[in-house]
Structures are given as structure tokens and as C-alpha cells.
Amino acid sequence: MDQMRKVRKFEEVVRYSTEGHRQKELDSGYWHLRGLILFKLSKFDEASSCLETALNDNKLDINLQYDFAKSELWNENKQNAIKILKNITSKDSSIKDKIREDKDFHKFKEELLIQKIL
């Protein structure tokens, strides 16, 4: 029951953000947050698209790159996800700890490519 309420709230946020998007040009922060919400709703293709749009404006944001890689992984674009993760872990070694602790990566921890990053 609580899970359904959370899903409805996320869906409302997406609906209102779509209306806001129509009113003005939005920055990378908007696209990043929208991508995270869509990811939580398991709409991985749409999430990746939003996160990629955010990256076009803010290529150096490691957290944004991390979220995009996670979305790509769940969207079955594993090679792209691994490439991004290798890149950001080479720049910031704390990302490895973040991957280890992130529940969204637990499904993929047994995969050889993820193990090489960690």
C-alpha cells in the first residue's frame, strides 16, 4: 500500500515537471532530477534519455555520470555503463565504495565487468 502511494507521488512529480518543461527551457539539474524519478519508476529508457540530456549541459558532473551509468546498466546498455563507470572511478576512487553500497547495483555485482571496476 505504501509502495503504491510512493509510485503515485513519483508519477505526479513527472506529470507536473512535464508541464513545467513546456513553460520554459530547463537546465541540467531539472533533467537530472527527472531522470532519477523515472529511474525509480523503472522507466529506464526514459531515465537514460533525461540523464543524457543533462550530461550534454554538464559533462563534468561525476554524480550525474554515475546516475547515467546506473540507468544505462538497468536499460541493458551494459557496455556503455561499464565504460562510464571505469572513467569516473579513475577520476574519483570513492565511487567504488558508492557502487558497493548502492542497492541498485546489487543485481549486477556478480557480473565480471562490474567486479573488474570494484
Q: Indicate the SS3 state at residue 71.
A: helix
Contact in structure between 84 and 68 (CB atoms under 8 Å): yes
DSSP state of 100: H
What domains does the chain contain, in order, with CATH numbers? 2-117 (1.25.40.10)
DSSP state of 19: H
pTM: 0.75
| pLDDT, tens digit, 9 for 90 and up, residues 23-74 | 456 688 889 999 999 999 999 999 999 999 999 988 889 999 999 999 999 9
